Amino acid sequence: MCGIVGCILDKTAAPTILKSIRKLEYRGYDSVGIATVTDTINLKKGIGKIDEVDDEIHLDDIDGKVGIAHVRWATHGNPTEDNAHPHNDCNNKISVVHNGIIENYKQLKDELISEGHMFKSETDTEVIPHLLEKYLDEGKSFLEAMQSTVKRLKGSYSIAAISTEEPDKIVGARNESPLIIGVSDHGNYLASDVPAILNETNQIIYLEDKEIIQLTKDKVEVMDYELNIVPKEITTITWDSEMAEKGGYDHFMIKEIYEEPQVIKDTLSEADKVHEIVKKFKKFDRIYFVACGTSYHASLVGEYLIESQIGIPTEVILASEFEYFQKTLDDHTLVIFLTQSGETADTIKALKIAKQKSETLAIVNVVGSSITREADHVIYTRAGPEISVAATKTYISQLVCIYLLVGYLGENQEILTKLEEVPEYAEELLDSENQIEQIAKKYKDSKDFFYIGRGFNYPTALEGALKLKEITYIHGEGYPAGELKHGPLALIDKNIPVVGILPPGSSYMKTYNNLEEIRARGADMIILGASDDKMIFDIEDKILFDPDIDEILAPLLYIIALQLLAYFISVEKGIDPDKPKNLAKSVTVE
């Protein structure tokens, strides 16, 4: 989580660094700090959002052409100024920013304290500048000190460090936490994610685990832990920084929802590549999906589709639980990993386990991310940059990839043909914005919501409830409709609105009867159904879809309405939907 930026320029670095670190606000954070190097370390940091801290201490008003910055999401230690990054050594000749978790920091800290080092924070990160100081004092170069330091660290980290000893350099390292390098004629950059530096350069080098870097203004060196040079290719990023801007919308989230019809079209353009990957698969008789959060819900749709349309036994496993299933892996199992960022720590760990025995496929949005370099096969979702913390268009694009995969695996031309109509349906749905906004105003003060659906649309209930929780802080639960009578019905009353997902199809009547049970108990209902469904004409709050959208296609479209519902409730409650509390876009720690 958190975010790192650094650069070495031919001009004062702080204004560029501050502009870049703002591009990482979407990752979630509670403090911010910046450090540059001249004949001393110039350090400013504080608690709160960038604008709040900048108004108070003017973050970019420091000299130096070399600098680093960080937005922190607290893991070790509360959000305090002492715990904010960057962290310095005892003599303020070194400054460090770090993402990840140093698992052996307590042992290292005890060792360093016994040697006379004084610590100011509660963080795991602070052992890094003190280790660097120790090795510099032994006569090593800054690069050699970084080499010795990372060999002592256990855990995940992306590190950037500056020093008065060699003020024309940034040294750093990566292991299980993303770090990229940007190359330009005006200097060189590093960051946790591409959007941070895309205004400065689109020439990107992706680092692998256990690699060390040394940057000067005119040179980039990437090395292994023995300081052997590792050749690297430069990737040209094809989307520009404007794609990561709001473009006149009030929030990134609503902008990204409105991009969904185009995202569906763009992801459908990957159909031939998906077909080619399917042709390359080895023979398998079982499928695992592995994912977290929203990607987990997309995977559940995949499970229903594959088992019902193809008949291959399929199971969805949370990435954080995958290690407990590793003994069931074999060379007749296909393991599919879904992750928006390609940097989700739990998913990366699971992929490394699966690769030992099984064929692997990654469905990812970020080109060049860690998982794309590990998996046997990769399908890109083509959603473009998604800045809002709550996933919307990346979820839709993951579903499109899954539908394409099912269509080609099962040689199901009907599904492939139906997919071609989905972008138009999505555009029509967005015309219902005003109606959904009115429903949001009506229910914004509710304390609890239930979402129910059956079969293909049970995962939509889960994802709708998750969106509500993420950005409105209202408690929401998704249930299979048939499970209501097995406990949750006891909670139903007039104070709890129930969102019913009711598309045409084989499960329609059973779901309708469950909704009647709810209506009999006086609960308000918000029904998502077909525009020609006369059974729901007397229900006041409903969101209607073209009647051709059946239960198989519904997961691709009904969720857009639930994304809008959550968005408008969030806005009505005065909450910023782009930056929900306690959450981050890219979860790079386990």
The residues that are catalytic are 2, 585
Question: Which residue spans within 110-268 are E strands per DSSP?
Answer: 155-163, 170-175, 180-184, 187-191, 203-206, 211-215, 220-223, 235-236
374 CB-side CA count, 13 A: 29
C-alpha–C-alpha distance, residues 443 and 495, integer Å: 10
Residue 486 CB neighbour total at 10 angstroms: 9
DSSP 8-state assignment for residue 229:
B
What is the Cα gyration radius of the chain?
A: 25
- Tokens standing for residue 447: 């304390």
Residue 209 CB neighbour total at 10 angstroms: 15
Q: Is the peptide bond before 86 cis (omega within 30 degrees of 0)?
A: yes
Using DSSP's 3-state secondary structure scheme, residue 272 falls into: helix
Q: Tell me how far the alpha carbon of residue 69 is from its chain's centroid.
A: 21
C-alpha–C-alpha distance, residues 60 and 268, integer Å: 44
DSSP 8-state assignment for residue 368:
T
Q: Cα–Cα distances in Å, from 483 out to 450, 456, 489, 494, 536?
A: 12, 15, 9, 19, 22
**Which candidate, 20, 34, 18, 22, places its Cα nearest to that of 70?**
34
Over 298-318, what HEC string results? HHHHHHHHHHHHCCCCEEEEE
**Which candidate, 157, 390, 405, 417, places its Cα nearest to that of 278?**
405
